[in-house]
């Protein structure tokens, strides 16, 4: 379980203030651009430091603003796949997968097999499709044996046919790897396909959390209410 208590982060006029517990197999993080989704992921990963609050993964504190606890990103056991995937362009798929990971042939073989990467091992990122790059980036994150995995808009660069195939891949990921996932998207139907619950973020605040069907019904009702008030 990932627990965030009384988190407060500021960057210019934007502020992020929230408390949340993430304990489902796949939790969706939903909200419009600028709501703080990527900022929250970067804070959990240790790439940005909040002013105050506490972040814990299981029984281990990653950050505590009161005691000064701060675990470096590479020691957090949190896998993070950003929107741009961040593959090394000068390294092959094999080298990207193994970068920063302990050499574990059984784990390497499992990931290569599960993600169908064998034909791609000696190819460079410029020779891979968008979906192939995505599989390599997620495979690299899993090679570090994370206790928590975060995916930021993983389907945003794919067209509709590729999205359908990628969703099948994420369903297999959900079942094959026992790692809790925080999955960011602004597409409600996409989240409904693979997530067990959803957290809705707006202007740096959590406005709803719960089952997909209930949360999005509530969001639609709220939108309808404000639209009618403006008419």
Q: Centre a 10 Å sphere on the Cβ of residue 191 and count the other Cβ atoms it contains.
A: 22
pLDDT of residue 19: 97
Give the pLDDT confidence score for residue 87 in this predicted structure: 94
Q: What percent of the chain has pLDDT over 70?
A: 92
When pLDDT is averaged across residues 76-93 and rounded to a whole number, the result is 94
The reply to whether 82 falls in a domain is: no
**Total tally of structural domains belonging to the chain:** 2
Are residues 195 and 133 part of one domain? Answer: no
Contact status, residue 162 vs residue 133, Cβ threshold 8 Å: no
Q: Is 128 exposed, middle or buried (0-12, 13-18, 19+ CB in 10 A)?
A: middle
Predicted confidence (pLDDT) per residue in 139-174, tens digit = 999 998 899 999 999 887 676 777 777 788 888 888
Domain that holds residue 168: 2-77+148-230
Mean pLDDT value across residues 73-92: 93
Task: Provide φ and ψ at 147, rounded to 5°.
Answer: -95, -10
Looking at the fold, whether 73 and 153 belong to one and the same domain comes out as yes
Does residue 62 sit in the same domain as residue 112? Answer: no
In a domain, 83, yes or no: no
Express as a percent the part of the chain with pLDDT over 90: 59
Q: Are residues 68 and 152 in the same domain?
A: yes
Rg (CA), the chain: 18
CATH number at residue 18: 3.40.50.300
Q: Is 95 within a domain?
A: yes
**Confidence class for position 28, pLDDT limits 50, 70, 90:** very high
| Burial call 3-24: b when 16+ CB within 10 Å, e when fewer | bbeebebeeeeeebbbebebeb
**Cα-Cα-Cα-Cα dihedral sign, residues 21, 22, 28, 32:** positive
Query: Last residue of a domain, which of 145, 174, 193?
Result: 145
* pTM attached to this predicted model: 0.88
pLDDT of residue 230: 36
End-of-domain residue from the set 127, 145, 163:
145
The pLDDT tens digits of the residues spanning 200-209 come to 999 999 999 9
Identify whether residues 127 and 171 lie together within a single domain. Answer: no
- pLDDT tens across 176-187, in order? 888 999 999 988
Supply the pLDDT for residue 89.
Answer: 95
Local structure of residue 50 (DSSP, 8 states) = -
pLDDT of residue 215: 84
Query: Is residue 67 located within the same domain as residue 10?
Result: yes
| Residues 108 and 10 placed together within one structural domain of the fold | no
- Taking the chain, what is the end-to-end CA distance rounded to the nearest angstrom? 44
- 120-135 residue pLDDT tens: 999 999 999 888 898 8
Same domain, 119 and 56: no
Partners of 64 in the β-ladder: 54, 69
Confidence of residue 227 (pLDDT cuts 50, 70, 90): very low
Answer yes or no: is pLDDT of 42 > 50.
Answer: yes
123 domain residue, yes or no: yes
């Amino acid at each position: 379980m990932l627990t965030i208590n009384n988190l407060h982060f500021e960057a210019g006029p934007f502020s992020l203030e929230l408390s949340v517990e993430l304990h489902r197999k796949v939790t969706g993080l939903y909200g419009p651009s600028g709501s703080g989704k990527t900022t929250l992921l970067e804070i959990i990963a240790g790439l940005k430091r909040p002013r105050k609050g506490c972040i814990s993964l299981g029984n281990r504190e990653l950050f505590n603003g009161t005691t000064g606890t701060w675990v470096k990103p590479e020691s957090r056991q949190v896998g993070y796949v950003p929107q741009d995937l961040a593959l090394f362009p000068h390294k092959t798929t094999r080298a990207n997968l193994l970068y920063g990971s302990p050499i574990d042939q059984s784990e390497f073989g499992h990931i290569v097999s599960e993600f169908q990467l064998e034909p791609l091992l000696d190819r460079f990122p410029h020779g891979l499709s968008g979906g192939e790059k995505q599989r390599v980036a997620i495979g690299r994150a899993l090679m570090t044996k994370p206790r928590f995995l975060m995916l930021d808009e993983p389907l945003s660069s794919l067209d509709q046919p590729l999205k359908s195939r990628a969703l099948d891949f994420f369903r297999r990921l959900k079942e094959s790897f026992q790692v809790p996932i925080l999955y960011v998207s602004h597409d409600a139907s996409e989240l409904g396909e693979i997530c067990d619950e959803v957290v809705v973020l707006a202007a740096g605040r959590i406005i709803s959390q719960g089952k997909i069907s209930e949360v999005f019904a509530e969001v639609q009702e709220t939108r309808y209410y404000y639209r009618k008030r403006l008419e």
